[in-house]
Structure 1
Amino acid sequence: MAAAASAQDASHGSPRQHDKYDRLVAAAQSVSKLKVAVAHPCDATSLGAVIEAFALGLIDPILVGPQDKITATAEALGKDISELRVVEAPHSHGAAATAVDLVKSGKAEALMKGSLHTDELMGAVVRREGGLRTARRISHCFVMDIPGHDTALIITDAAVNIAPTLEDKVHIVQNAIDLARALGVDPVRVAILSAMETVNPKVPSTIEAAALCKMADRGQITGGILDGPLALDNAINLGAAKIKKIESPVAGQANVLVVPDLEAGNMLAKSLTFLAGADAAGIVLGARVPIILTSRADSAITRLASCAVASLVADAQRTRLAIPEV
């Protein structure tokens, strides 16, 4: 794909391959085009990503925001948006609310963040009246393309749940498993991370990891193979797992990493991005529809990959029962 081939490594400015994201985009191009309500795409970065995703056949966007600002942004980019539908909203708060309403009315299958703060969009999503809550806890997943790592790696939750409880983590894990399956991952190997691989009563995350694994054994979490607690090294490196004499179908080959809390997840994801040259496509799950969350620092291929991930999730949701609403 041309967009991927020309993408630049954020830390070095040199081209690199994005085979994992290329495969995601190709898979998304084979399913129905995703109808996306884009909240306040009023800067060059957010609008440009929408236009490119539309051109690649990934999304069918509805641009929600002040029409004069959207038009001016398109003109500054030298892009023609006459084929795209624009729904007027006076400001970013209004755009978030209107975008959510488009989903509620069935006119959109997903949300996408434009040039507004994440809290504005998520505030409209989680509002008690007219929001998009379900019986699931809302959580965020990074789908990371890491140089030198054979497969995309899902990291959760690094952006929404600050200090999740054990009950929250059940939903976080299930959301991540459902995402992995939507992306065609089989088997889904989930590592519940901590600082060590043994259960230590003084380290609460190790106890929660053990509880989550037993819950999976009893069918309270389904669709994936869980193990934990695992330290990061023996979760993703077979050599490290062998040195520690850990025998497990997950250890050394995890494709989903569940972190203890937002701080740990955020530091892990950003370390991979800025020290290892990884890209991090972002998506929020557990609401009625997938929510595409991008950062101002994201590369073009990362934004396209986020759209592709949302499209594959929505396609999977079309073929199974929807999560029950609250």
Structure 2
Amino acid sequence: MRLVNRTFDELEPGDTAELRRLITADDLFVFAVASGNYNPMHLTETDLDADGQTERVAPGMFVASLISAVLGTQLPGPGTVYRRQVLDFHNRALAGQEVVVRARVLSKADGFVRLATEVRRLADDAPLVTGEAEVAAPSEPFAAEDVEIPGLIVQRHRHFEALLDRARPLPALPTAVVCPDDTNSLAGTLMARRESIITPILVGRAAAIHAAAAELHADLSGIEIVDVETDLAAATRACALVHEGRVQAVMKGHLHTDDLLKPMVDRDTGLRIGRRLTHVFVMDVPGQPEPILVTDAAINIAPDLLTKQDICQNAIDLARSLGMDPRVGVLSAVETVNPAIQSSIDAALLSKMADRGQITGGHVEGPLAMDNAIDLAAARTKGLQGSVAGRANILVVPGIDAGNMLAKQLAFMSHAEGAGLVLGARVPVILNSRSDSPMSRLASCAVAAIHSLAKG
């Protein structure tokens, strides 16, 4: 940003300045945190005033604060100090509306300047705020190029909110929940049931399940419980429920992932359909324009080329069911093929396999380093073109170490929420960890419901 001021001596009555601003929902969250005004009228989409319209109304003082942006950056600009501001409020502004903010010099004397100020809604020119400002104008000129301030990212998981909105109207997904005998797994299950996203059948030790429910003060009336004594037996029974057509998904409860998956890969009674089982994290990373899929971060430890082919295809299929345009960045430490780095060779081969139709439904490019996979400027700096470089929404990692670290970095440093799903089986397998938040558990169920419907 370039900033230039106009000193007191340079100002004349009639001088004007204006700026346009699109008011976003994130603006309202930032203002709420900065001001302490948590009025739900400004933050939620509910009809709090019974006027038949949902709210998300911009606070009047937020709209008025935009006047200071004109005064502090344009007229008079840097060095301006407020003395007085008169405000009259006329109409509301809503998130998603664009406004125009104007200031006009009325008079000046003794170093002080009076300005008429207003904010109007751009679509219909309706006045939102009008008034008059008095400021101490700068006496010394100021000009600076490339003025920057730290960026802000609102920790709001809008992509998961959208997925939940898509999943709620769908038929509840019949789901076998394996060993939900602790409070975390059972609470997540019951939450998804309350949201009408799944219809659970609880498979495990009935006494332990009832004990967890008692600890939660939860009522299990109307929920079927299949009483089995061991974790492995519960996972085996869940597979049988799939074959019987009684459930269309399996959800991990309080058991080891190996015990959950072992019966699923059985040649005769398991759930495999030809592809390898692969894991996908659907990550809602604040500030990103769409979800980011990370795969494989939980099942395949050191996948070979053919396993990576299935990893790519499963992730593409999931992305398409979520309404995304799949752009697969196959990650390595470098963006050029290096015979000493096996992941770079595999990435190049996967890219060519996609060109030849061995991987379908999405764009696949590699090798890509992490920076030039997700950042367009980094990709252009390296001279990378194409539809994926800098815009990848599926990240295929070299192995489970890299995948696990990437997913956890996004969760604990970038404040992402992650939904976990195992693909390549007859039905989606919802894979949660004990540390997952309620939003993650709910989003995992929503992803499974949407994907199951898309598969038919």
Instruction: Name the TM-score, length of structure 1 as normaliser.
Output: 0.91
Q: Hey, what does 1:63 align to over in structure 2?
A: 202
| Structure whose residues are more often strand by fraction | 2
Q: Distance in 2 between matches of 1:125 and 1:38?
A: 14
Is 1:304 aligned with 2:442? Answer: yes
**Identity between Structure 1 and Structure 2 (%):** 51
**How much has 1:26 moved relative to structure 2?**
1.1
Deviations 1:166-206 (A, max 9, x none): 11111110000000001110x21110111111111111111
**Candidates 118, 136, 152, aligned match of 2:275:** 136
Q: Hey, what does 2:384 align to over in structure 1?
A: 246
**How much has 1:30 moved relative to structure 2?**
2.6
Q: Hey, what does 2:329 align to over in structure 1?
A: 191
**Candidates 287, 308, 332, aligned match of 1:169:** 308
Q: Which amino acid aligns with 2:432?
A: T
Q: Which amino acid aligns with 2:368?
A: L
Q: Distance in 2 between matches of 1:315 and 1:195?
A: 37
Deviations 1:147-171 (A, max 9, x none): 2212110000011111111111111
Moved over 3 A (4+): none
Q: Distance in 2 between matches of 1:28 and 1:174?
A: 23
Q: Hey, what does 1:226 align to over in structure 2?
A: 364
Q: Which amino acid aligns with 2:424?
A: G
Q: Residue 155 of structure 2 contacts residue 415 of structure 2 at CA under 8 Å; is this kept in 1?
A: no
Q: Hey, what does 2:261 align to over in structure 1?
A: 122
Q: Distance in 2 between matches of 1:142 and 1:101?
A: 26
Q: Hey, what does 1:9 align to over in structure 2?
A: none
Q: Hey, what does 1:272 align to over in structure 2?
A: 410
Q: Distance in 1 between matches of 2:247 and 2:182?
A: 22
Bigger radius of gyration? 2
**How much has 1:128 moved relative to structure 2?**
2.4
Q: Residue 139 of structure 1 contacts residue 157 of structure 1 at CA under 8 Å; is this kept in 2?
A: yes
Deviations 1:78-129 (A, max 9, x none): 1111021111111222211111111111111010001111111011111223
Q: Which amino acid aligns with 2:160?
A: Y
Residue correspondences, number: 304
Q: Which amino acid aligns with 1:122?
A: L
Q: Distance in 2 between matches of 1:245 and 1:30?
A: 45
Q: Distance in 1 between matches of 2:228 and 2:243?
A: 17
Deviations 1:42-89 (A, max 9, x none): 000000000010000100100011212111211211111102111111
Q: Distance in 2 between matches of 1:165 and 1:91?
A: 33
Q: Distance in 1 between matches of 2:402 and 2:214?
A: 41
Q: Residue 193 of structure 1 contacts residue 232 of structure 1 at CA under 8 Å; is this kept in 2?
A: yes
Moved more, 82-91 or 249-258: 82-91
**How much has 1:315 moved relative to structure 2?**
0.5
CA RMSD across the alignment:
1.2
Q: Which amino acid aligns with 2:402?
A: A
Gaps of 5+ in 1: 6-14, 319-326
Q: Distance in 2 between matches of 1:266 and 1:145?
A: 16
Is 1:106 aligned with 2:251? Answer: no
Instruction: Name the TM-score, length of structure 2 as normaliser.
Output: 0.65
Is 1:29 aligned with 2:165? Answer: no
Higher RCO (C-alpha 8 Å, min separation 6): 1
Deviations 1:265-324 (A, max 9, x none): 111111111222211110000011100000000000000000011111111111xxxxxx
Q: Which amino acid aligns with 1:96?
A: A
Is 1:44 aligned with 2:183? Answer: yes
Q: Hey, what does 2:340 align to over in structure 1?
A: 202
Q: Distance in 1 between matches of 2:275 and 2:266?
A: 15
Q: Which amino acid aligns with 2:239?
A: V
